[in-house]
Homo-oligomer: A and B are copies of this chain.
């Protein structure tokens, strides 16, 4: 029997306990041994809950109990979660987590600690909720050079953009609806400003490149500037607007970016609606693949954690290798990033743009302005143009 301690009995933590209980028989069959929840760490008590008696308030009970094999960190936050994870690993207890913030901040260090102590650190649930993506990246594509990762990595913003696209809603209204449904926090910044997606693309890219991409180095733009008018142009172009996390391996240099993009109907991400997430991975041999599913939600995320728990149970006493080293990845400069841009220009005068960029197409959709699609240009040149034409450029969206 393997003994598990769950740190944090919130949404995901309680989901993990529930799955380990409800699917006990299936799990026992697959693991060849029973997995038992011995402790749940939380500041609160849960009278009446079926796991009521397992709740403890003192982490030292867990970390000093030699019977505990696996620690499930579903606390959230960074500092204490990191500290508890590190302590467990140093005692040879394997840890799995849904906490992307800790993984993005301390991933390579914790992976090394796990390796040094013959245990493992897994984090399938930190990206894409229930979507299997972390494990497939290193077990299904171990022989691939991953050239590109592009994903819809945040369910809240995808819900909002889907509403704006399909129902013509305004940004403020869909934000309110997302908050009412519990998808967005009262302070929605982590979602709408792209910080959440940023950590996720940093993790995925680190894994695919084998070196660390620091989330601080990933240029991140959210969806707060996206308006109804942008969607009117998108519709005319047969496109939709999605918040994407993307990275490319440019001959060993890493291009990474989080921003809204216009994508066309033939892109498999186009039909990823509502709170669903999807990650496209392009390998040099396998070509284009996509992984799709619920990017959040109690049981979907907990299911990913449970897949880690089972992996840890089956690999007790040894390190599950993860190809992510504590070496900083070489990041591409803005001069090396190249996109087409859609630009909305006040009035009809696009001379200021033409001085910097080729113009591929113009579109009229909203009175008193014009839409321009540039030819491919570098990000630094675009930013220079944007600054020079700050008075006339109403908004811009990169095109994929």
Contact = CB atoms under 8 A, between A and B. Distances in A.
Interface of A: 19-20, 22-23, 26-27, 29-32, 124, 130-132, 135-136, 138-145, 210, 265-266, 268, 270-273, 278, 283-294, 297, 299-300, 302-304, 306-307, 309-311, 321, 323
A289 B132 contact: yes
Contacts of A23: 143-145, 284-285
A130 to B, nearest CB: 4
Given A19-B143, A31-B142, A142-B310, A285 B302 contact: yes
B323 A29 contact: yes
Contacts of A306: 142-143, 285
B290 A286 contact: no
Contact of A286 (B29, B285, B294): B294
Contacts of A311: 139, 142
Contacts of A22: 285
Residue of A26, A289, A321 contacting most chain B CB atoms (<10 Å):
A289
Q: How many copies does the complex hold?
A: 2
Contacts of A19: 143, 285
B210 A29 contact: yes
B271 A285 contact: no
A293 B287 contact: yes
A337 B299 CA distance: 28
Given A27-B143, A130-B286, A144-B303, 7 more contacts: A132-B136, A135-B136, A140-B307, A143-B309, A268-B272, A285-B306, A292-B292
Contacts of A272: 268
A271 B268 contact: yes
A12 B302 CA distance: 38
A285 B303 contact: yes
Contacts of A270: 271
Residue of A143, A266, A270, A283 contacting most chain B CB atoms (<10 Å):
A143
Given A29-B323, A303-B283, A139 B135 contact: yes
The 9 closest A-B pairs by CB, nearest first: A132-B140, A289-B293, A290-B292, A286-B303, A130-B286, A143-B306, A285-B303, A271-B271, A30-B142
Nearest to A288: B293
B144 A140 contact: no
Nearest to A292: B290
Contacts of A29: 210, 323
A57 B273 CA distance: 53
A289 B303 CA distance: 12
A289 B292 contact: yes
A293 B300 contact: no
Contacts of A145: 23, 26
Nearest to A294: B287
B143 A303 contact: yes
A291 B307 CA distance: 17
A23 to B, nearest CB: 5
A32 B30 CA distance: 28
A323 B22 CA distance: 19
A110 to B, nearest CB: 20
B142 A132 contact: no
Nearest to A26: B145
A393 B342 CA distance: 51
Contacts of A297: 287
Contacts of A321: 32
Nearest to A291: B291
A293 B136 CA distance: 13
A262 B7 CA distance: 46
A142 B307 contact: yes
B304 A286 contact: yes
A286 B292 contact: no
Contacts of A304: 140, 286
A251 to B, nearest CB: 14
